[in-house]
Amino acid sequence: GRKLLIIGTTSRKDVLQEMEMLNAFSTTIHVPSIATGEQLLEALELLGNFRDKERTTIAQQVKGKKVWIGIKKLLMLIEMSLQ
């Protein structure tokens, strides 16, 4: 009687469609890539993986700059940095 939640991420929705797997998911949510340093800092704050001092150091490096990173890649890099 337990429910199961499965979350999948991909940057290739077309491949899932081609494999006829897209219909297996009840909802599709598009999450845009992080484009600016400010967006990156907001994501890091919401994720809560870094202390204030660490976020301040990161802010000095990315403030006012363009960054282009998908949330999936950001989560992977955060996980790697915490190991």
* pLDDT tens per residue across all 83 residues of the chain: 899 888 888 888 999 999 999 988 889 888 899 999 999 999 999 998 888 999 999 999 998 999 999 988 999 999 998 88
Q: Where are the domains of the chain?
A: 32-81
- Cα-trace Rg, the chain: 16
Question: What pLDDT does 9 receive?
Answer: 83
Nearest residue to 37 (alpha-carbon basis) of 72, 9, 10, 74: 74
Question: What pLDDT does 41 receive?
Answer: 94
3-state secondary structure (DSSP) of residue 55 = helix
- Which residues does 78 contact at the CB level (< 8 Å), separation at least 6? 44, 47, 49
Which CATH number applies to 32-81: 1.10.357.140, 3.40.50.150, 3.30.360.10, 1.10.8.60? 1.10.8.60
Question: What pLDDT does 60 receive?
Answer: 95
